[in-house]
A and B are shown apart, each in its own frame.
Chain A
Amino acid sequence: MADPTTAVRAAGGPRTFAWNPALVVGLVMLGVIAIVAIVAPLTMSGQATGIGGTPNLGSAPEHPLGTDTLGRDMLARTLVASQATVLMAAIATGLSAAAGIAFGVAVWLAPRRIREIGLRAIEFAVSYPTMLVAIIVAAILGQGVVQVVIAIAVANIAGFARLTANLAAKIASSEYVSTARLMGVPAHRIALRHVLPNMAEPTLILIAGAFSGALVEISGLSFIGLGAQTPAFDWGTLLNDGLSKIAVNPVVILGPAVALTFTSLAALLVGDGLAAAANPRSNTTRARLERIEGEPAVQDADAVLVADGITVRHGVTGRTLVDDVSFSIRRGEVLGIVGESGSGKSVTASVVGRLLGEGLSASARRLQLGGTDLLGRVPERTLAEKMAFVYQDPGTALNPALILGIQLSDVLRIRLRHSRRGAFGILLAGFRAVKLTDPEGRLRQYPHQLSGGMKQRAMIASAMSVKPELLIADEPTTALDVTVQREVLTLLKRLNEESGTAVLFISHDLGVVRALCDRVLVMKDGRIVERIDDVRSLSQETVTHPYTKQLLAATPVVSVPVAADQDEVTA
């Protein structure tokens, strides 16, 4: 069932940069830090380094954060140290970003052999803690401000290289790059024109994270004595000095601790904000289904399903997606709904199935399934045993992390109260009925071990295992190969005839629908534009709406002769 919110968002115009509170607050915080880092050393360095004050003061009016062992004001020292700290982190981040991106692009542009080796080297480097790499560099180069910046820069190169190589590989396989290649654009121009610009967003997010990481790591190295050495000082050394006085004068650690957290938080907010801007969240409302009063449009005494006046609106925009759609399905009948994507056919099915997507609100005059009013409160168990679903893409509709036996038997065990053995027995019988080979073995398999057609047959077996009164099949063949499509259609037809289960069959393909269904509804823009009751004699002459005529003209004739297929299935 297609997600209408994406369609609405796409209709909202070209993508614009979405400013959000996190990004604004983060940038403002970074701005404050930058100003402090520039101004503080110019105005406060006397207070920060001048010796002669009262040592080891607690919080006092003239020294709100106390003084250190040499009587220097900790507030001034913290503010002055922001220049060294932020500059070191920024330079380290800049160096690693430049080197990492260059390496990543080079690896991607290199011949296949070298690329493989380069990628392996990156994987090797990122599997170690950055701190270990930094310590190795510190062990080689010794301690000091320059060394620690180089150490952290080297340690973070691999992260940038990996992101760049991954993104480049993704973009390189994209259509616009293959087009450019086909047109003979040289590799370095592809990199410059197409690859780099499209990497900007994720790279900026990584830079924000790397800056915060570099800040914490550099200060950490200074904190343990591998970074800035006296008389140079940064937040890490201040924190280390404070630690020795922690028992007597804990206020002195407040300055560097708050400064580190504040800056790190600013980078985190900017990163979050950039990510949110790249992928804006739309407001949604909860799905609602309510009854409206009105003259019934459907009178059908022996129908299994009666759907009268289904209307669906988008919760936020109020756009009507389905407009007053009414139909009924009799026992053993297959009703097809056909229409292009966005016509509202899947949304209609989701209302009938009580699986309406978030952000939609639906109403109907009457929605009744075999004597149960679906507009009222219905026990989950009743829903579970009265209707079942087959979805469009069996590759995504099955849970990749669970074996088939577990996920397909859950409804039998939990909702229909069968024992584990009983449920497996029913499922096995179902697997045999849909002609899955080695049914016992399939129970123990994960979905990825089966082909698409087999997955869809397992799905159908599971759907039929509850003996539903209504089977809702939402484009069950669209994601399958043409030959497999035919098998699945044949199977659905056979199960429908054998069990008498009514089927609501959704498709965009009139050819498929006319081969399977007893009656067909044609939907366009949320309305039913044509009701075809006699599918067998369907032709240009028997339909009235121009859209149906168009559909019909574009459809080759497919026939599923039932008797012949029975043979084919058992062959």
Chain B
Amino acid sequence: MSTTSTETPSAPGPGAPLEPGAPRAASLAGAWRRFLLRRAGGLVVNLALLVLVTFLIVQLIPGDPATAIAGENATLAQVELVRTQLGLDQPVIVQLGQYLLGVVQGDFGDSFRYRVPSLDVVGAAVPYTMTITVVSVVLLLVIGIALGMAVGVATRGDRRRWLDLVFTGVAGVISSVPTYVFATGLVVVFAVTLRILPPAYSPAYDFGTAAILPIAALTIGGACSVARIVRRETAVILEQDYMRTARGWRLPALSLYAKHMLPNLLTTALTLAGIILTALLGSALITEAVFAWPGLGGVIVQAIAIDKDYPVIRAAVFVIGLISLVITLVIDIVLGLLDPRTLGEQRG
């Protein structure tokens, strides 16, 4: 009888001696190994595609890329200079080969404007963008999950209708404000009217003080969006059979919600966090403009709109794409730690 009911999805852990005839509880080592292998393979494919996309940015420019990049007023000599600098005078396959060779060595070509390797230009901006993005994501997840869970528990089964209405209204309005509008509003209130925080980044201000408003702008709206979703998810989880099981054990509220509900909530919240984080990275690129923040947003906008500095554009797109890929991977690993069922999914 005992052997008929063993249905273990993964191999036994290494070093676990198998007694003949007595099936042992399986460990998750095998599932993790397969998961990491699969994700590593996915990462390589994604990187290759990313490099290809950055290569194509120049190739896909309508008309003659060299003429377009050099600008309308460029002399023939300038156009030819751009053409040779980007290798556009050679067959596409040779261009791709040379581009790949360069990328492997971390060389996206020299910036047209700054005359230094474009990866250096981009690299200098990365810490600024990453600081506000990462801090904001941590804050918005913590605030959003706590708020959403608290409201979800407080309004379960139609309790406290007023709270439901207030929360729905306030969170809805705040999450509708675009981050850059929110950022502008914060500048008006805290920098222009109250004069307690600097309106924009400048080496004259303390970095931490200057970062407060950008982080607040990115956090508050996002936290409300997360809270809205977490609240709905809380209502769903409270209806689950395993929560009734926990109530059947007469567990106190803290254990019920913090121990039995939260891990399940985090699975959803983190799946969401990946999407929010990449979206936030996009918002950060725009919001930086409000604060003259010296991050990737400023670099890429300047490169596209003013300098037509394609080596910098290529490097910036590659780096932003890389950050997105790493974020997605990290979140999936955290998800796997929290809920090993996600290891088996065919993702990435």
- Residue positions of A touching B, CB distance < 8 A: 1, 123-124, 127-132, 135-136, 138-143, 212, 216-217, 219-221, 223-226, 239-240, 242-243, 246-247, 250, 253, 256-257, 260-261, 264-265, 268-269, 272, 283-287, 353, 355, 358-359, 380-381, 383-384, 388-389, 391, 393, 396-402, 406-407, 410-411, 414-415, 435-438, 440-442, 444-446, 448-451, 453-454, 457, 483-484, 487, 568-569, 571
Contacts and interface: CB of A to CB of B under 8 A. Distances in A.
Q: How large is the interface on B (under 10, 10 to 19, 20 to 34, 35 or more residues)?
A: 35 or more
Chain A interface mostly: helix
B187 interface: yes
A415 B305 contact: no
Contacts of A250: 188, 192-193
Given A246-B187, A441-B25, A410 B249 contact: yes
B333 interface: no
9 contacts: A129-B279, A136-B57, A242-B184, A264-B176, A284-B157, A286-B158, A415-B250, A451-B5, A453-B4
B90 interface: no
A63 B300 CA distance: 37
Contact of B6 (A131, A407, A437, A444): A437
Contacts of A388: 248
Interface of B: 1-2, 4-10, 22-28, 46, 49, 53, 57, 60-62, 68, 156-159, 172-173, 175-178, 180-181, 184-185, 187-188, 192-193, 199, 240-242, 244-252, 255, 259-260, 263-264, 266-267, 274, 278-279, 281-283, 285-286, 289-290, 297, 300-301, 304-305, 310, 313, 317, 320-321, 324-325, 328, 338-341, 347-348
Nearest to B328: A127
Contacts of B192: 246-247, 250
A438 B25 contact: yes
A457 B2 CA distance: 11
A243 B290 CA distance: 7
Contacts of A568: 1
Contact of B252 (A242, A380, A436): A380
B317 A283 contact: no
Which among B178, B260, B266 has the greatest number of chain A C-beta atoms within 10 A?
A: B178
Nearest 7 Cβ contacts at the A-B interface: A441-B25, A131-B282, A129-B282, A401-B263, A451-B7, A358-B157, A411-B249
Contacts of B185: 253, 257
Contacts of B4: 453, 483
A503 B119 CA distance: 72
Nearest to B314: A139
Contacts of A142: 68
A223 B247 CA distance: 52
A571 to B, nearest CB: 7
Contacts of B6: 437, 451, 454
A129 B281 contact: yes
Contacts of B260: 399, 402, 407, 410
Which among B1, B177, B244 has the greatest number of chain A C-beta atoms within 10 A?
A: B1
B317 A135 contact: yes
Given A123-B348, A257-B184, A257-B185, A355 B263 contact: no
B231 to A, nearest CB: 12
Nearest to A490: B1
Contacts of B178: 216, 219-220, 260-261, 264
A479 B249 CA distance: 22
Contacts of B46: 124, 127
B176 A212 contact: yes
B347 A123 contact: yes
A208 B25 CA distance: 48
